[in-house]
Amino acid sequence: MKMEKPSDKFVLKDDMLTSLKCSLCESFLSVSPIYITSEDGSKMKCGRCNFKTHIVCRAICYENLAKQMKFPCINKPCEEILDWDDVKSHEKICEHRTILCMKTNCNERIKAQDYISHFKTQHEKSLYTDTMVLKNIHSAYGMGVLQKDFNAFVVLFDCDNAKFGLTVCSLVPTDKVFNLTITSPGSKMSITINEQPVKRFNERYHCYKCMQGLCKYEFHAYRHHRRNIFSKMNVKVEKDVVKKTYGNQTIYYRIDIVDEKKEEIDDFDDLVDKNMILDEASEDENDEICFEQENFLRDTLICPQCSNNLEAPIYQCVTGHILCSKCRDGAEACPTCESKIENTRNYLFEEVAASFEAISTQKPEDRPQAELKDKEIECPQPKCFEKIHLKDIADHYKEHHINNFHFNTFSIKSVYTYYNIDVLVKYGKTFILLFDFDDVNFGISICSLDDEEGLEYEITLSSADNNHSVKAIRQKLVVFDDATYCFKCALGKCKNDQHHGSHKFKRRDIFRNMVTKINRDSTRRMFNTVNMNYTVRIVDVSTLVQRDKIIRQMFECTICKDYMVPPIPQCLSGHSLCNTCASKVEKCPSCEAALTGTRNLALEEATEKAQLVCQNLFENCIYRTSLKRIAAHEAECPKKPKRLCSAESKSEASKK
């Protein structure tokens, strides 16, 4: 005869609950599995403390009885009374759940929803908003809290002798992932690790104090095993990869919380070869920096009264507020401060407005085509010996070597041992792509048929799943010369007597002259695969360079060439100069007008928003920062040209 199950489960009284607590965390024995941890059976541990102990014996009888009981939530003052099967899921989402503060000298327990406000008031230096940028963490350990969309994410990082690791945890359930980008100021290389999982935060396993050896909680899994925290981190990067990419420069690690990309299933997927990468046919996306530059200049060159674009003549009141000629004609006093309006112009803004409008809006394909030398060469492909004119090389490849012909963007799979010479057509121009490798590096050079000012290329080496990538930007094009970049010479198959040099050493010489080199072994170890892909894009940077030049000229003092920062004086005629130069003269050096205390307030306001690129751009430094910081960077820039003493200068001149 079967016993009938009781219709109602019984609720334990307080005196009974005190005896049913975990011997490690002192929480109720209300989460399975329950284990006996002592020889006499007096101690048990709950399923929250899910790590090994010396004595392990599953308390099956207790678990069967507990299924007929109701337990209170462990989070005070929560008054929920829960069934055995519901306790674990409720505790994860309970609004009264508290979390131990991870900072070293703080032992407060904070509600999950108050974690951000606690860090904002108590540990502001460890709180980041939207994006977390950390400096040189490859040789340190630490933690921080990242606020994104009103949610808190705890970031832990640690290192050993060979690698550094990173874990991002969420205090609430989330489907977000994170991207890690490694860069160095002025470097054209970047390392990206995409779509890494965000873990659910559990202080028993993600305790920063355990990492420091300062934790006092016995129920924390890694209290005595600090290295285990590092071993469980979901992102690890070898220090050797970072060192070979950036050397001893300052390195920044950027963490972004993003939505997980979900692949869309296309009804036509079955019609496409899964191993094929299709070249992009669309135009390049607007560069983010170029877009920001344009917005900055347009916002700066707007009349504050009528919101029309400023153009010469541009006037301002004796205090320093600007206005266009139409607003000035109809006003007796300044609409902003009611100061007197005379004939004071703002010549600096007039020059900037004229330069901005004069920037060519032509696309690269609309520019006049240079006349190419009608040079006849042998087809660069190893098994083709047809004589062709250099200007016809794209047509030849399209007709005879279609697998090596690309349009707009070059993309190819499995490049670990790839060496070849391909042709890419972009902006109506032809580019020759050379790929090679040696025991240490990948080598890439992109050649144009003539000097293409304002065009550069960027290359991305990525893993097959696109979760890891190394990117090189602002790479210089070189002019193609068949004797210098002969692929058949590299293979030892060239029959052209004019290509001098031993075939034995030719490939090594060609490789040595390649523009872009990426460490091969370090990349393989970081990607954990030899299945890698190349993506090459030709980019137009002419507009970017021109706008950089305009913005730099806006803030350069015409006298000393230093940057002008507030306060920025201006003479009665309308010439601006830095405060240091103004303090040394009584009259304007440009027109000898009086300096009466008028300021260029519009330019002062623009100093807060301006982003300037390092003046050593042509020495391969692409560092970009605010006006307040650019001077300090340029003084210490590692790409700054070294000044020669007089004797060295004469020696260099004699060599030329």
Q: Average pLDDT in the 40-52 region?
A: 83
Q: Where are the beta strands (DSSP E) in 428-467?
A: 429-437, 441-448, 455-463
Instruction: Give the closest residue to 44 by CA, choosing from 56, 71, 83.
Output: 56
Does the pLDDT of residue 224 top 90, yes or no?
no
Q: How many CA atoms lie within 13 A of 393 on its CB side?
A: 31
- Does the pLDDT of residue 642 top 90, yes or no? no
Instruction: Enumerate domains of the chain plus CATH numbers.
Output: 10-93 (3.30.40), 98-259 (2.60.210), 293-359+555-609 (3.30.40.10), 392-544 (2.60.210.10)
Short-list 184, 548, 222, 501, CA closest to 355: 548
Q: What's the pLDDT score for residue 257?
A: 93
pLDDT (mean) for 374-393 = 85
List of residues 6+ apart from 354 with CB closer than 8 A = 311, 312
Contacts of 85 (CB under 8 A, 6+ apart): 67
Sorted by sequence, the CB contacts under 8 Å of residue 306 that are 6+ apart come out as 324, 326, 327
Percent of the chain clearing pLDDT 90 (strictly above):
8
Element (H, E) at 295: helix 288-300
> Which own/partner contact pairs does 386-394 have at CB distance under 8 Å and 24+ positions apart?
390/449, 390/480, 390/482, 391/430, 391/449, 393/423, 393/430, 393/432, 393/449, 394/423, 394/425, 394/430
Neighbours of 187 (CB within 10 A): 22
Nearest to 638 by CA among 656, 626, 622, 651: 622
State the pLDDT confidence band at 137, using cuts at 50, 70 and 90: confident
Strand duo 10-11 + 69-72: pairing: parallel
The pLDDT, as a whole number, for residue 618 is: 61
150, 242, 273, 412 from 270: Cα distances, Å? 42, 40, 8, 20
Residue 281: its pLDDT value, please? 33
Which CA distances in Å does 334 have to 248, 321, 331? 54, 8, 7
Look at residue 282 in the predicted model and tell me its pLDDT.
35
Q: What is the pLDDT of residue 7?
A: 45
Query: Can you read off the two tokens belonging to residue 368?
Result: 């006049």
Residue 34 pLDDT > 70: yes
State the pLDDT at residue 646.
Answer: 39
465 falls in which pLDDT band (50, 70, 90)? confident
**In Å, what is the CA distance from 106 to each residue of 100, 375, 654?**
9, 74, 67
Q: Once rounded to an integer, what is the mean pLDDT over residues 45-61?
A: 82
- 554 pLDDT exceeds 70? yes
Give 505-540 pLDDT, tens digit per residue. 566 777 788 888 888 888 888 888 888 888 888 888
The pLDDT value given to residue 374 = 67
Q: For the segment 607-641, what is each residue's pLDDT rounded down to a tens digit?
A: 888 888 888 766 667 778 888 888 888 888 777 76
> 577 with 593: CB under 8 angstroms?
no
C-alpha span between 399 and 595 (Å, rounded): 71
- Cα 10–12–16 angle (5° rounding)? 145
Which of 385-389, 404-408, 613-617 has the least mean pLDDT?
A: 613-617
Q: How much is the mean pLDDT over the chain?
A: 81
The answer, yes or no, to whether residue 570 has pLDDT greater than 70, is: yes
Q: What is the pLDDT of residues 313-351, one digit of tens each?
A: 888 888 888 888 888 887 778 888 888 888 888 888 988
Of the pLDDT bands very low, low, confident and very high (cuts 50, 70, 90), residue 655 is: very low
